Amino acid sequence: MANEELCLLSAVELAAAVRAKQVSPVEATRAVLERIERLNPKLNAFCTVTADSALAAAKQIEAAILRGDDVGPLAGVPISIKDLIYVKDMRVTFGSKLFEQNVVTEDTPLVERLRRAGAVIVGMTNTPEFGWKGVTDNRVFGIARNPWNLELTPGGSSGGASSAVAAGLGPIGIGTDGGGSLRIPGAFCELVGYKASYGRVPNYPGSGVDSLRHTGPLSRTVADAALTLDVIAGPDERDPHSLPSDSAKGYLASLDQGVRGLKVAYSPTLGYAWIDPEIAALCADAAKHFAASGATVEEIDVDWGNCYDVWGVFFYGGIAARIAGYPVEKRGLLDPGLQPIVEQGLKLSAVNYVNALVARNLFWQKVRATFERYDLLITPTLSVPPFAVGKNRPDLPAGPDGAELRWSPFTYPFNLTGQPAVSVPCGRTKADLPVGLQIVGRRFADATVLRAARAWEQIQPWAERRPVL
């Protein structure tokens, strides 16, 4: 099989071919590494490439296959890991000059599980410092670019992962999401960006924003996201908030059960969001066509209010807490946009934090009431299409709400609530830029969200589109 063809296989297809001895895991790994070597200088998606260890792992998997051993559901699949996640003996910088030479000594639980499942880790992907913003650049590695248009951002904070997957530098990129960091790059790069229920994938070690942090896959297909979740989900004693699976059959095996008969709400603004009219029209059209899945779709108004300020206490306060122990002169090494946010976070008191906890619970009660009436909620993923690299945010009409993320007003509420949410492609603007549709489920209902994403994928497929690089 030609290298190009190998690199564009889905994880499900590649793992099946490896187990059937139709494709060598070494051949597949070499193909992806060669593609990374050729394209990463344009994209800056990877900040660290681990060619030697990846090939060594692929050879071990190949030997196991020849012995007749069970090599796991991700056998021979090249996977990237965001540079915020611990990978043993790897340099993990968090995109920060403060950790530029940091080498970690243990795998996080999801990395352990990926290895046991036969995945081949090919490197670490670029991220903004501590994942603080929705675009991807930092002072250590520079700017990551969108494969669909190199002058545009791939989003963030898992932007290196989305750039890599969209460009065929491995079918799965593992990222994190504290306010939209899987769904934003999913929308900007025409991918599936899946944020599992809070705790479905264990968080360890702590990150400072753990009460908001979800870890999951970026992929080209819903099946690949479901397969990845089958591998990485489940409790771990190192994370007391981690959850068991909610799918007895497994997420991948349950995908085609569909969503017929479910009640689905569509909210175009969540009651407060500004949105580009072209994106609003595309998402409204997608919501209307979602009824072809057999679900009942109803447009609704919600009066939850904008929770940005509450979310910001946990997110920016968590990052500030991580920096608090460093002397003031070291803080000058931080991303210039992050510095004032850290200073503001350092001024928060215990009273501010407790008040935010109370407000978070009150917000959940409003959301809960909506989900008592509906099984799923559909919204736009973002208010804007991909914008130029080198900017932290696009230029928007003036407004009072959540300036830092006014262009992503639909994502952070569901980090506060911990609900499962996915961004799936739903069309293109007149300028041929990707647009995402967000599907949100009830608490813990990951299997339902993935089935809904799969139902939409069957209505309006996207995976055959490829950027030209």
The set of catalytic residues is 82, 157, 181
E strand intervals along 190-255: 192-195, 214-219
Is 158:84 a contact under the CB 8 Å cutoff? no
Contacts with 218 (C-beta within 8 Å, 6 or more apart), sequence order: 158, 161, 162, 165, 172, 173, 174, 175, 182, 185, 186, 189, 191, 192, 193, 194
Separation of alpha carbons 401 and 403, rounded Å: 6
Total Cβ atoms within 10 A of residue 201: 30
Two structure tokens written together for 113:
């599980």
Q: Nearest-CA neighbor of 408 among 306, 320, 323, 337?
A: 306
Q: Is 463 helix (H, G, I), strand (E, B) or coil?
A: coil
Separation of alpha carbons 59 and 118, rounded Å: 11
Separation of alpha carbons 346 and 208, rounded Å: 13
Q: Which residues pair with 218 in a beta bridge?
A: 173, 193
Q: Cα 19 to the chain's mean position, in Å? A: 28
Is 102:59 a contact under the CB 8 Å cutoff? no
Continuous segment of H or E residues that includes residue 82: strand 78-82
Q: Nearest-CA neighbor of 288 among 378, 385, 188?
A: 378
Q: Nearest-CA neighbor of 450 among 235, 232, 225, 249?
A: 225
Is 295:374 a contact under the CB 8 Å cutoff? no
- Phi, psi at 155, each rounded to 5°: 90, -170
Is 100:140 a contact under the CB 8 Å cutoff? yes
Q: Cα 123 to the chain's mean position, in Å? A: 17
